[in-house]
Amino acid sequence: MGTLNQDLSLFNTLTREKEKFVPLEKGIVSMYCCGPTVYWYAHVGNFRTFLFEDMLRRVLEFNGFEVRHVMNITDVGHLTSDADTGEDRMEIGVRREGKSAWEIAEFYTRAFFEDAKRLNLLKPKVACRATDHIADMIELIRKMEGNGYIYIIDRGVYFDTSKMKDYGKLTGMDFESLNESLKAGARVEFDTQKRNITDFGVWHFSPKDRKRHMEWDSPWGVGFPGWHVECSAMGMKYLGLTFDIHCGGIDHIPIHHPNEMAQSEAATGKKLANYWLHAAFLVFGKGVRMGKSEGNIITVQNLIDEGFDPLAFRYLCLTAHYRSELVFTKESLQAAQNALFTLREHMQRLRENPEEEKGPSRKTEEYRKEFLEAINDDLNMPKALTFVWKLLREEKEVSDRDKYELLLEFDKIFALDLAKSIKKELPKEAEELIRKREEARKIKDWKTADRIREQLKASGVLIEDTPQGVKWRIEKR
């Protein structure tokens, strides 16, 4: 961890400006990230957002801040339609797998954290499930009720957004224009009992004719919490009524985050968070978002099954700024993997051929400074990456040892396991083939030896016969 750096700027969706970051408490950052809805596997689009949040945390820590990172697990109440008319997404999992909602949540929460680990995501300091915080949510709704912000309709308890003067400020629109634009663009009709199209459920009633797997008593009737109220209740419970940073994907700007903001502020009279940060989508080609509802998802396991290192995806995410769309193609992922493997090879070479120690040069310090400036400029990772390649091309002014040390330091942000020894990665089958080739060479069966060499090459393993024996390296694929 470095010393406290005061020159970090972040783009705040709320003010639409890049602002100097100043936390509420010196040296400490409170950060809330909207987590996954655990009715299915998280896809790499979701992970683009979680990777952005991970990089943000790493940049804050690199600057010497202690980061109180909270992420929720949405295991109830996230409806299929943003207009509050659909069903609980957990029900989709229940129908698909014939298990209880509790089992679905348990399974996909576990799967989420396994994938997160494979992508080198730091574990949040608090990862909290919505279903463990129902009492906190009820308490929060009671406060909104006490302050006159809610009303009851057949479907449940609703929040009257017209009572929040600046509702929707995150979108940059006033209340009327936001309502008009939502009406115009509505894909589903909205409940006519709602007072405003922007109103949303804070507590949904259970259906009258059946028992849900997940339902609770409340002062208003048996049911389950609304998705937005979950984040408000857990965020404030773990980070205080006002915290520093709130993050999520760009899709949260028009509905989820304004709703979190409105109901929290209605209950407490205080601003919920100072900085609101959003990651742009991962897309296939122009405008085609990867999404569970779109039915076009790719998971981390899919990448592994196709022979990719999950960290190649992490590298790919670094190549685009978090506020720009990231186009996902197999070719771009392959290019990212090639770059990642080349970097690891460089690291190996730098480690194995250390030059004499010269002591850090002025140039080394320049690189360190420029790198810090890039990451502190609203997480400009593409720029930070260019310094890596530039550094590797440096011939005179930076020693191999310094390059190695500096790249290790940069890897605290990138988390690409740059120091991972590539030798360990020789697949078992390749080992076996190398052994067979040695046997063939011993009996001067050059034909077999050459055939095996070609076979190895096709699988990306290059070999070289040296007086010390066979040397191999894994070719970038």
Interaction of residue 251 with ligand AMP, rule CB under 6 A:
yes
Residue closest to ligand AMP when measured from CB atoms: 249
Cβ atoms < 10 Å from Cβ of 354: 11
Task: Work out what residue 281 binds among Zn ion, ligand AMP, none; the CB cut-off runs from 5 to 8 Å by kind.
Answer: ligand AMP
CA within 13 Å, CB half, 426: 16
Which of Zn ion, ligand AMP, none is residue 383 near (CB under 5 to 8 Å by kind)?
none
- Restricted to residues 416-445, the positions that interact with ligand AMP (CB under 6 A) are none
Min separation Cβ 51 and Zn ion, Å: 18
- Contact flags string 265-304 toward ligand AMP, x per CB under 6 A: --------------x-xx------xxx-------------
CA distance 440 to 450: 9
Query: Residue 63 or 168: which CB sits closer to Zn ion?
Result: 168
- Of 313, 311, 317, nearest to 298 by C-alpha is 313
Distances from the Cα of 130 to the Cα of 76, 106, 202, 228, 343, angstroms:
7, 12, 13, 11, 41
Report the residue from 12, 37, 161, 218 that binds ligand AMP according to the rule CB under 6 A. Answer: 37
Q: Pick from Zn ion, ligand AMP, none: which does 231 bind, CB < 5 to 8 A by kind? A: Zn ion
CA distance 411 to 425: 19
In the complex, what is the shortest distance from the CB of residue 468 to Zn ion, in angstroms, rounded to a whole number?
Answer: 58
Q: Which of 10, 21, 31, 36 binds ligand AMP (CB under 6 A)?
A: 36
Nearest in space to 315 (alpha carbons), one of 339, 297, 342, 290: 339
Q: Which of 23, 226, 249, 254 binds ligand AMP (CB under 6 A)?
A: 249
Shortest distance in whole angstroms from residue 232 CB to ligand AMP: 15
Q: State the nearest-atom distance from the C-beta of 234 to Zn ion, in Å.
A: 9
Q: At what angle do helices 44-62 and 101-118 cross, to 10 degrees?
A: 60
48 binds ligand AMP (CB under 6 A): yes
Number of residues that bind ligand AMP (CB under 6 A): 18
Binding residue for ligand AMP (CB under 6 A) from 13, 49, 72, 264?
49
Name the binder of 48 from ligand AMP, Zn ion, none, CB < 5-8 A by kind.
Answer: ligand AMP
Asked if residue 86 binds ligand AMP (CB under 6 A), the reply is: no
CB nearer to ligand AMP: give 325 or 445.
Answer: 325
> Whole-number minimum distance, CB 41 to ligand AMP, in Å?
10
Which residue lies nearer to ligand AMP by CB, 34 or 385? 34
The radius of gyration computed from the CA coordinates of the chain, to the nearest angstrom, equals 26
197 token code pair = 């199209």
Q: Which does 142 bind (CB under 5 to 8 A by kind): Zn ion, ligand AMP, none?
A: none
Residue 248 touches ligand AMP, criterion: CB under 6 A = yes
Residues that bind Zn ion (CB under 5 A): 34, 231
The residues near 19 (Cβ < 8 Å, ≥ 6 apart) are 9, 10, 11, 12, 275
Place of tokens 């990231």: 326
Residue 36 contact, options ligand AMP, Zn ion, none, Cβ 5-8 Å cut-off depending on partner type:
ligand AMP
By CB under 6 A, is residue 310 in contact with ligand AMP?
no
Are the C-beta atoms of residues 30 and 245 closer than 8 Å to each other? yes
Which residues of the chain form contacts with ligand AMP (CB under 6 A)?
34, 36-37, 45-46, 48-49, 74, 248-249, 251-252, 279, 281-282, 289-291
